[in-house]
Amino acid sequence: MSLGSLALNLMGVKEDDGHHEGFQIFHVEWSRVELPYVFFSWILITTFAKLGYNYLPLAKKLPESSIMILFGLLIGVFLFLVNISAVVLTPDIFFLILLPPIIMEAGYFMPNRLFFDQLGTILLMAVVGTIFNMFTIGFSLYGLGKAGFYGDDLKNIEYLEVLLFGSLIAAVDPVAVLAVFQEIKVNMVLRIIVFGESLLNDGVAVVLYHMFESFEEMGESAITPTDIVYGLISFIVVAGGGTVIGIIWGYVCALVTRLMKPVYLMEALIVISMAYMSYLTAEVFHMSGILAITFCGITMKNYVEKNISESSSITVRMGMHLLANVSEMTIFLFLGIVTIMNETHQWNSYFVLATIVCCCLWRVVGVFILSKLANMIRIQKINAIEQVICMYGGLRGGVAFALVLSLHSPNKNLFVTTTLAMIFFTVFFQGITIKPLVRLLRVKTRSATNVSMGERVTSRLMDLTKLGIGEIIGNTSEVPLIVRHMYKRVDKKFLSPLLLREKVQEPKFFQTFEYLLKEDALRGIQKTSDEHH
């Protein structure tokens, strides 16, 4: 046998000379490992795209989400040129893999106190606002269609079909809001209202979407008043059911983590798995998975953080940040790729224009009216500038796209293209201009929100008392991680030698404590007077 044929055989290439199929040294078997390989390749591609963004000098001026879409467009063009047809984004991949980690992180790190303080306004915006937007956008688009604005083809478009489209394009997207609001540092109250709205409107959006989907399948004539009553009841089922499922899983997880001491290694896994299970359980019953995982995170957090070990806690936090970050970037990357790869685009400039204008217009009107309503009851009013940012925060994103992909209506292709156009508009135009706008309007940003000296001293007193008591009893596990880290640098020199090294000496401890408080008070006064001058 020649060297050449040996080499060929080594490469697993079979010769055609009728030689018997001998033992192959070198095999390639792609199909078996394809699924995990592709999955992890996407993770690496996303990470490298994010890394690339951070090294681009120009990039810092644009929001990350827009850059990821641009990277996605580039990858899409590349895949198109080499003629690879990769399925990158299906509704199931979006709703079962990419979305849950983002909402899980959002729920887990939700500032609970603030969220429940603002719950009234958030619910007003999420429920009334979304229903308002859906009907106004839907009927405006329908009216414009009847008037022949989109051309003759779409003159006879059914109102149920347009309302279905309205239901999916009306809701503000939590992923897009998170991506943009992370980068502009507006104050927490404004942020929680816009973000809370985008989370809680999911119940409404899912119900309206499924309602109009069923109605469209049934046909106009077959809808009875009972069906409409059922539609209203189903809102309670979907939103309430999702919330209840989330709270139950949250408490179960809180209980389970109490017992996990002997297998503390698994704590992080259990916390993340159970939160995800709450989402899946809600989805099984067609309830709002977003509400389930949000409330699961809100419910479990305080218990879990105290039950699990410190390294598990770091792993849970890092793991959630990490998964959410990758998913978020992957969604925008995929949106870019899908735009190029989708072969059934149907572009109608008038319809796209009408959609963008209607969405913006009714968002402005909706926020204006609802803020007026909310301000009747609110003590801390939503002022005009905050209303503008709130209007501007009505971003659309992956949720709308995943919903439009699962449509079965005759004008699906038109709707898909229009939804992409709307997402691009909000992510690029609104996403890029919101930062300058915030600066222009001098919106109260987070760092400028002064905590009064009294508050600062009191909260520090509480922290130090807890830390001090913890150190005396030799167990600081009740003291939040962040407090221990904050005071490690400053106070160790006072606390440590006195408390840890020798025997406990309370009088000395309280001396030190008093000294620290005085020092802090002085610093506070100094800082306040600095700021006034």
Q: Minimum distance from CB of 401 to a copy of itself (Å)?
A: 18
Long-range contacts of 523-532 (CB under 8 A, 24+ apart): 524/453, 524/456, 524/457, 525/453, 528/453, 531/450
280 sits near a copy of itself (criterion: CB under 8 A): yes
Q: Is 417 in contact with 346 (CB distance < 8 Å)?
A: yes
Burial class of 367 by CB neighbour count within 10 A (0 to 12, 13 to 18, 19+): buried
CB of 325 to a copy of itself, least distance (A): 5
Among 283, 328, 386, 471, binds a copy of itself (CB under 8 A): 283
What span, in angstroms and rounded, lies between the C-alpha atoms of 397 and 395?
A: 7
Whole-number Å distance between alpha carbons of 11 and 426: 51
Q: DSSP letter at 109?
A: T
Q: Annotate each residue in 96-135 with x if it binds a copy of itself (CB under 8 A) or - if it does not, as one string.
A: xx--------------------------------------
Nearer to a copy of itself, 17 or 152 (CB): 17
Q: Does the footprint of a copy of itself cover residue 269 (CB under 8 A)?
A: yes
Least distance from a copy of itself to the Cβ atom of residue 100, Å? 9
Rounded to whole angstroms, how far apart are CA atoms 359 and 426?
Answer: 10
Report whether 69 contacts 335 (CB < 8 A): yes
Tokens 């051309």 found at: 151
Interacting residues with a copy of itself between 240 and 259 (CB under 8 A): 259
Identify the CA nearest to 101 among candidates 296, 373, 357. Answer: 296
CA distances from 261 to 61, 258, 312, 393, 473 (A): 47, 7, 11, 44, 20
Q: Give residues 444-503 in contact with a copy of itself (rule: CB under 8 A).
A: 489, 492-493, 496-497, 500-501
- Which of 114, 237, 453, 469 is the binder for a copy of itself (CB under 8 A)? 237
Residues 13, 86, 233, 369: which binds a copy of itself (CB under 8 A)? Answer: 233
Pair 171, 426: CB distance under 8 Å: no
Q: Residue 14 carries which DSSP code?
A: P
Q: Taking contact as CB under 8 A, which single stretch among the options 226-234, 384-392, 407-415, 427-435 is the one that binds a copy of itself?
A: 226-234
Shortest reach from residue 342's CB to a copy of itself, in Å:
23
505 binds a copy of itself (CB under 8 A): no
Instruction: Give yes or no for a contact between 260 and 307, defined as CB atoms under 8 angstroms apart.
Output: yes
What character string, x for contact with a copy of itself (CB under 8 A) and - otherwise, covers 182-221? -----------------------------x--xx--x---
Residue 314 near a copy of itself by CB under 8 A: yes
Question: What is the rounded CA–CA span in Å between residue 291 and residue 410?
Answer: 31
Can you tell me the distance from the alpha carbon of 273 to that of 37, in angstroms, rounded to the nearest whole number?
23
312 contributes a contact to a copy of itself by CB under 8 A: yes
Per the DSSP assignment, residues forming a β-bridge with 445 are 186
Q: Is 348 in the site for a copy of itself (CB under 8 A)?
A: no
Write out the two tokens for 147.
């008037």
Q: Which is nearer to a copy of itself, 71 or 276 (CB)?
A: 276
Residue number with CB closer to a copy of itself (172 or 207): 207
3-class secondary structure, 91 = helix
Determine the interface stretch with a copy of itself among 19-27, 72-80, 122-130, 419-427 (rule: CB under 8 A).
Answer: 19-27
The answer to whether the beta carbons of residues 189 and 380 sit under 8 Å apart is yes
- Min CB(145)–a copy of itself separation in Å: 25
Residue number, 219 or 410, with CB nearest to a copy of itself: 219
User: Quick one: which of 120, 220, 311, 523 contacts a copy of itself (CB under 8 A)?
Assistant: 311
Stretch that binds a copy of itself, among 180-188, 278-286, 345-353, 361-369 (CB under 8 A): 278-286
Q: Which of 136, 167, 288, 315 binds a copy of itself (CB under 8 A)?
A: 315
Given the structure tokens 């735009």, which residue do they identify?
Answer: 339
In degrees, rounded to 5, the angle at the alpha carbon of residue 208 between the alpha carbons of residues 152 and 299 is 145
Within residues 24-63, the interface with a copy of itself by CB under 8 A covers 24-30, 32-33, 36-37, 40-41, 43-44, 47, 50-51, 54-55
Nearer to a copy of itself, 33 or 373 (CB): 33
**Tokens, residue 55:** 């090294």
- Which among 171-179, 222-230, 416-424, 506-514 is the span making contact with a copy of itself, rule CB under 8 A? 222-230
Total residues at interface with a copy of itself (CB under 8 A): 79
Exactly one of 70, 200, 260, 331 binds a copy of itself (CB under 8 A); that residue is: 260
Angle formed at CA 264 by CA 260 and CA 266, multiple of 5 degrees: 90
192: part of which helix (H) or strand (E)? helix 188-218
Is 515 a binder of a copy of itself (CB under 8 A)? no
* DSSP letter (8 states) at residue 411: T
> Which residues fall within 8 angstroms of residue 254, CB to CB, at 6 or more apart?
299, 300, 303, 304, 307
Residue closer to a copy of itself, measured from CB, 140 or 313 = 313
The region of 105-113, 260-268, 345-353, 514-522 touching a copy of itself under the rule CB under 8 A is 260-268
What sign results for the dihedral spanned by CA atoms 473, 475, 480, 486? Answer: positive
- Least Cβ distance, residue 73 to a copy of itself (angstroms): 21
Q: Round to whole Å and give the CA distance between 338 and 75.
A: 10
Q: Output the smallest distance, CB 127 to a copy of itself, in A.
A: 18
When the beta carbons of 21 and 530 are compared against a copy of itself, the nearer one is 21
For a copy of itself, the closer of residues 346 and 476 by Cβ is: 476
Q: Quick one: which of 86, 220, 273, 455 contacts a copy of itself (CB under 8 A)? A: 273
